[in-house]
Amino acid sequence: MTSAISQLGLVVHPTRPVDTALRDIRAWASERDVKVAQLDVPQDSWPVDGPVWAADCDLLIAVGGDGTALSALHAGARVSRPVLAIACGSLGALTTVSAERSAWALDQFESGSWTRVPIPALDVNWANGQSRMAINDVAMIRDDPGQIIVSITVDDVLYARVAGDGLVVATSLGSSAYTMAAGGPILAPGAEGMTVTPLAPHGGSCPPLVAGKDSRVDLTIETGRIRVRYELDGRRTPVEERLLTVRVRPDFATVVGLNQAEARLTGLRRRGLVVDSPRILARDLRDPS
């Protein structure tokens, strides 16, 4: 089934080499009398075209890296628009199409040779009524010298009270970002739910936890003099409240899935984020066959 396109919306990374991708996108659009404009998103962006609302676009295109793709996904989720993420630099978890294949990717979308890949998010609600969505993760981090104490409760059952630098809650997609760097688990594609990973815990025993897709995680930070900052998808969120609830929203956004796209686990190996044991690498050097 073909996809009718009359308007493309761009989100462009401010510093990456985006010229090749933008040239090919504009040439493709010009040949089909398709309009191209730029979304107004809350991030630094290289001004390349006039502004457009996401709701007026048939397809949003993120040109840059995974951070750019996250901004486009948040914009697209609010108005149910799919996102095509094009990598200018290394391929990531979301940017699975290289800049040189921009026109090919648009051909695939136009011809209907693509699949809707649902992207989950975390529905984060504070006790004071504030709420936000995070596609990768929400982190609570000490913002003063000292430690913060966080109580972790899953479906009304206390799991642990942790003293340390804070913790990070991640979606299955986001589990290969901050969570993995903090020693937490990676959820493979197809796994649902969320991970809860303490940051530099001081003593005790609190292994990283995987909660189910229908679970509710309540996090309570003990009151005290130490300030706490919240980061959602790596962006600081000014909230003073110390009690929050996190749930999974399974189909928050949509990314364009194309044939020949690299598997997510393969991408982790290619980028060196997951590496075989040294003994195995040494054996492979001795016997390449």
Residues designated as active site: 66
Q: Is 51 helix (H, G, I), strand (E, B) or coil?
A: strand
For residue 231, what are the CA distances in angstroms to 117, 162, 163, 166, 190? 25, 19, 19, 11, 26
Which H or E run includes 23? helix 19-31
For residue 251, what are the CA distances in angstroms to 7, 80, 171, 276? 24, 10, 12, 33
Residues 160 and 229: beta-carbon distance below 8 Å: no
Euclidean distance between CA atoms 69 and 95, whole angstroms: 7
Strands 7-12 and 59-64: parallel
Q: Centre a 10 Å sphere on the Cβ of residue 212 and count the other Cβ atoms it contains.
A: 12
Q: Is 266 helix (H, G, I), strand (E, B) or coil?
A: helix
* Sign of the alpha-carbon dihedral angle for 236, 237, 242, 245: negative
* Sign of the alpha-carbon dihedral angle for 234, 239, 244, 246: negative
Contacts of 255 (CB under 8 A, 6+ apart): 69, 73, 82, 83, 84, 85, 94, 117, 119
For residue 287, what are the CA distances in angstroms to 268, 278, 280, 284? 24, 14, 10, 5
